[in-house]
Structure formats: C-alpha cells, structure tokens
Amino acid sequence: MASRESPPDPQRIDAVGPTALGDAVAWARRYASDHDLGARDVARLCLIVEELVTNLIEHGSLGDLTIGIELARRPADLALVVEDNGRPFDPRNAEHQDAVPVRGGGAGLRLIAAWSEVVGYASENGRNRLELSLSLSDS
C-alpha cells in the first residue's frame, strides 16, 4: 500500500463530448494509481473502460451522449458502473461471432466478457445502467 490515503469510494466521472474517451481512460488510470492497483489490473481496467466508452460512442449514441462511470474498490474486485443515455444494449445478449472481421468487430465485447462479470443491466426512462465486477489479481 502507498503511504498516502486512498480517496473514498465510490468515485465517478461524467464523460461527454469529443474528449469523453480520453477523459474516461485517464480518470480510470488515476483511480487505479490512487488505489494501488497492480500493473495488470490497471491495464485491464483501462482497456475495459476504453472498450465500453468506444462502443457507446460508435454504436449507442442518439445525439448528445452522456456517459457516467463509477468505480469502487472492494477487497477482491472493482465494481464498475456505466450509465448512459444511448441506445439500450445488454452485453449479455450480444451475439459473439467466432470470426473477427478485419476491423475487429466484437473483440471488445469478448475482452470485457473475459475480464469482468456482468452483475446487472437495466434500461429505464432513456438511461442505461451496466454493472460489472472486475476481479483483481494478487500482484
């Protein structure tokens, strides 16, 4: 553990506009650093956040997209919540193709499924809420 005290949990960012992706990934990296996550967990967290936000921007936008991301560290995992006003999409119902097209279609969803567990998904009143659990490594 670092000598400094970690900021309280949960922590949240609202990512909007053309800098949403960069802001979200930089925020996740700062969160990981503040909570003394190992290099492997930092990389996995940042890639998951990047994939989720990229998919929302590319496939879920209905105009002015707002994305809220919340993280909370627990003893053995991280709770990650993503809320947005885009198209409803439950990743548990996504079709996973074996063949990855040249562009890599579906690879991000497979990565998210491999590195996290979907705890819940709901879409109500024009807002989506995806809850994930990311297991932490021992190192």
Who contacts 53 (Cβ-Cβ below 8 Å, separation ≥6)? 15, 20, 21, 24, 25, 67, 69
**Helices 39-55 + 107-115 axis angle, to 10:** 140
CATH class of 11-135: alpha beta
Q: Give me the tens of pLDDT residue by residue for the chain, a chain 139 residues long.
A: 444 566 788 999 999 999 999 999 999 999 999 999 999 999 999 999 999 999 999 888 877 899 999 999 999 999 999 999 999 999 888 775 554 455 556 788 899 999 999 999 999 999 999 999 999 996 5
Say what the pLDDT of residue 2 is: 45
* CA separation for the pair 3, 35 (Å, rounded): 11
* CA separation for the pair 127, 15 (Å, rounded): 15
* H, E, C per residue of 30-77: HHHHHCCCCHHHHHHHHHHHHHHHHHHHHHHCCCCCEEEEEEEECCCE
* CA separation for the pair 39, 51 (Å, rounded): 18
- Is residue 20 within 8 A of residue 53, CB to CB? The reply is yes
Global model pTM greater than 0.75: yes
Say what the pLDDT of residue 1 is: 44
Q: DSSP secondary-structure letter at 4?
A: S
Domain ranges of the chain: 11-135
* CA separation for the pair 13, 52 (Å, rounded): 14
Say what the pLDDT of residue 97 is: 54
Half-sphere exposure in the Cβ direction for 11 (13 Å, CA): 15
